[in-house]
Chain A
Amino acid sequence: MTAKQRTFPSPIVDPDTEQFWSAAKNGQLMVGNCNSCNEKHFYPRGICPHCGTQDVTLIEASGKGEIYSWSVLRRADPPFAIAYITLDEGPTMMTNIIECDLDALAIGQRVKLKFSETEEADGPPVPTFVLD
């Protein structure tokens, strides 16, 4: 375990992503879902990146997934693990693996969602993950 955890800059919320970050404040991780082609996408946005229609909504993800790739930035203070997680729902997203042994990460490890508070008092939390 690393004693010190990095702090997270607050994400900038815009009209396109307000719903996503509101849901995050309620502890929900949302992914984009297209009602036209039925494909999911991440990050969420106002247009389906797969078929190009605007018939997109947010649906809640289970918060479970596995490590697609990872790297520990040893030069940071404190060092931290960035990762791409493939959610069980399909899309792969960028995140940090927190509260973990930085020397024992591996592709394919199962992870689960744990939101992390961000630096600004009213900033929404960001979706980080712990080993499952």
Chain B
Amino acid sequence: MSINGKAYIAGVFEHPTRKATDKSLAQLHAESALGALKDAGLTKDDVDGYFCAGDAPGLGPLSLVDYMGLKLKHIDATETGGSSYVLHVGHAAEAIAMGKCSVALITLAGRPRAEGMATGTAPRNYGSSAPDVAFEFPFGPTVVNMYAMCAQRHMYEYGTTSEQLAWIKVAASHHAQYNEHAMLKNVVTVDEVVNSPMIADPLHRLDCCVISDGGGAIIVTSPEIAKTLKRPLVKVIGAGEAPKHQMGGKIDLTYSGAVWSGPMAFEEAHVKPKDIKYASIYDSFTITVLMQLEDLGFCEKGKGGAFVSDGNLIAGTGKLPFNTDGGGLCNNHPANRGGLTKVIEAVRQLRGEAHPNVQVQNCDLALAHGTGGSLGTRHGSATVIMERE
């Protein structure tokens, strides 16, 4: 059984806030949900399936279901960090294909800026009962130094350079200049990236994503419902998910779980990487993008540096336009989880609703990919392929 063609993305909404001192976390989830429902032309009472992850306050989905007053037949709080919401699209399509629900709502929200969270540079303790904590937390693993170790090893094995990584940020900044909501709208150069302060060798400040408040939501529906709505039809045609971890100490930092989730999604969609017109690629750091592009098969392993150089990811000039909203590197990384916004921009592209200066011509096939957790330790990987009908 396949989910290809069994579900459509009928509504998306990206919350415009980037600093939400005036709103609660539940409020951001609910405003995002209402935005996506309005975009789809549906109401709260149409929703019969709800999906959320670890950013939701309370016990799994229960508090938010209560807050929003939803009456449901299906709930799913699968938590794989920032990749969760890409994975949820696949799970929602599965539930719809099985007849468990017909209008699925996925929400994400967070306020790390309002709360003054040291997102990337302070160690995070995921709980003393996590079996890995005693063997890692004492050594000060942070988001940035763990991804930095991936970059360091990639450079060692494949000769990848800081200048090549910088091209990823340069491309994102070219796109962000057209996004009125983007946190960083300035177009930057390779020199500016490599000369920005070193945060954790070899990652500079401009290799890192923004820290932002905000949220977003996605509505996934059955084909029957999608076809009654007035929005362009965006069909889910393939999905894949896979965790990657330390393999009992056989650690290999040069690749991500996308080596598994990518082929699953491509096989289900019956398409190949070269067919993809636009890609949303999780961009917590520049190295995240480079590794995922290789692992998804957009270029050979180890050749990501050459692939991203010279503007190849810039809409209009490059062969693979990516993150045309500016991505996490420039636009928005709500709740320190960038997966949901990846799906949103892919849907905008497929509908022809991206900013005219970054809209990919005849964009009929797009991919969204998320990584959640840490590429340096253990992470979830999720890939979704969508087609404009």
Binding site for B on A (CB under 8 A): 6, 8-14, 16-17, 21, 31-32, 39-43, 45, 48-50, 68-76, 80, 82-84, 90-96, 107, 118, 126, 128
Contact = CB atoms under 8 A, between A and B. Distances in A.
Contacts, number: 117
Given A69-B150, A69-B253, A74-B197, A82 B139 contact: yes
Contacts of B229: none
Contacts of B202: 71
B152 A69 contact: yes
Nearest to B251: A92
A95 to B, nearest CB: 6
Contacts of A45: 131
Given A50-B248, A70-B149, A94 B136 contact: yes
A82 B145 contact: yes
- Chain B interface extent, by class: 35 or more
Nearest to B129: A14
B138 A118 contact: yes
B138 A9 contact: yes
Contact of A84 (B140, B199, B253): B253
A59 to B, nearest CB: 13
Contacts of A6: 140
B197 A71 contact: no
Given A73-B144, A74-B199, A94-B141, A41 B149 contact: no
Contacts of A21: 134
A39 B248 contact: yes
A43 B249 CA distance: 7
A82 B137 contact: no
Contacts of B247: 49
A71 B145 contact: yes
B140 A41 contact: no
Q: Which 4 A-B pairs have the closest CB atoms?
A: A91-B249, A49-B248, A71-B148, A11-B134
A30 B237 CA distance: 48
Given A39-B248, A74-B201, A91-B248, A82 B149 contact: yes
Given A11-B133, A11-B134, 19 more contacts: A8-B138, A9-B138, A11-B137, A12-B128, A21-B134, A41-B248, A42-B248, A48-B248, A68-B253, A70-B201, A71-B146, A71-B149, A73-B200, A74-B197, A74-B199, A82-B146, A91-B249, A92-B251, A107-B152
Contacts of B67: none
Interface in B235-281: 246-251, 253
A73 B251 contact: no
A107 B150 CA distance: 12
Contact of A69 (B128, B129, B149): B149
Contacts of B129: 14
B371 interface: no
Contacts of A118: 138
B152 A92 contact: no
A109 B246 CA distance: 22
Most buried by B among A8, A10, A69, A82: A69
A95 B139 contact: yes
B364 to A, nearest CB: 40
B73 interface: no
A74 B144 CA distance: 11
Contacts of B128: 12
A93 B135 contact: yes
B267 to A, nearest CB: 28
A40 B138 contact: no
Contacts of A80: 140
Contacts of B149: 69-71, 82-84
Nearest to B197: A74
Interface in B140-181: 140-142, 144-146, 148-150, 152-153, 156
B192 interface: no
B117 interface: no
A42 B249 contact: yes
9 contacts: A9-B137, A41-B248, A49-B247, A74-B199, A83-B149, A90-B249, A91-B248, A107-B156, A126-B139
Interface string B191-214: 000000111111100000000000
Contacts of B186: none
Nearest to A74: B198
Interface string B10-49: 0000000000000000000000000000000000000000
Given A91-B248, A91-B250, A96 B131 contact: no
A132 to B, nearest CB: 19
A16 B148 contact: no
A71 B141 CA distance: 10
